[in-house]
Amino acid sequence: MEIANIKLKSLGIAIDELSADQKSYLEPGIRRYTLNTLIQNVTALLPDGTTDVVNIAVANDEIFSVGDVPDDFQRTEVIDGTKHFAVPGFVNAHTHV
């Protein structure tokens, strides 16, 4: 909950302003929603070192599929990846604190 509190402060929101229900969403390990994002037509670096234009499905911050996205994937957000480059699975560990 402390990390969530820091993020809220950076947005100018005090954690005391949230309802009990809203606070429950901040509890670690509890997922009460599903955020499914589809990134369409993005040029991606694939594991074999080649690049191709693909679709990337992300479900709750985890890569669900790269390439063919199942027909039953219920997306809540669609991002146009045209003219963008993705490296699925790459984690940028370079941060400034």
Q: Return d(Cα 34, Cα 43) in angstroms, integer.
A: 26
Averaged pLDDT score across all residues of the chain = 77
Say which residue, 68 or 54, is predicted with more confidence: 54
- Listed in sequence order, the residues at least 6 apart from 78 whose beta carbon sits closer than 8 Å to its beta carbon are 37, 38, 40
Q: Are 56 and 65 in contact (CB under 8 A)?
A: yes
Please, how many CA atoms are within 13 Å of residue 48, restricted to the half-sphere of its CB? 3
Q: Is 89 helix (H, G, I), strand (E, B) or coil?
A: coil
Say which residue, 59 or 94, is predicted with more confidence: 59
Sequence letter at residue 81: G
Q: Are 5 and 15 in contact (CB under 8 A)?
A: yes
Question: Taking 50 as the threshold, does the pLDDT of residue 1 lie above it?
Answer: no
pLDDT, tens digit, 9 for 90 and up, residues 13-54: 565 666 666 666 565 554 545 678 999 999 999 888 899 999
Average the pLDDT over 78-83 and give the result: 94
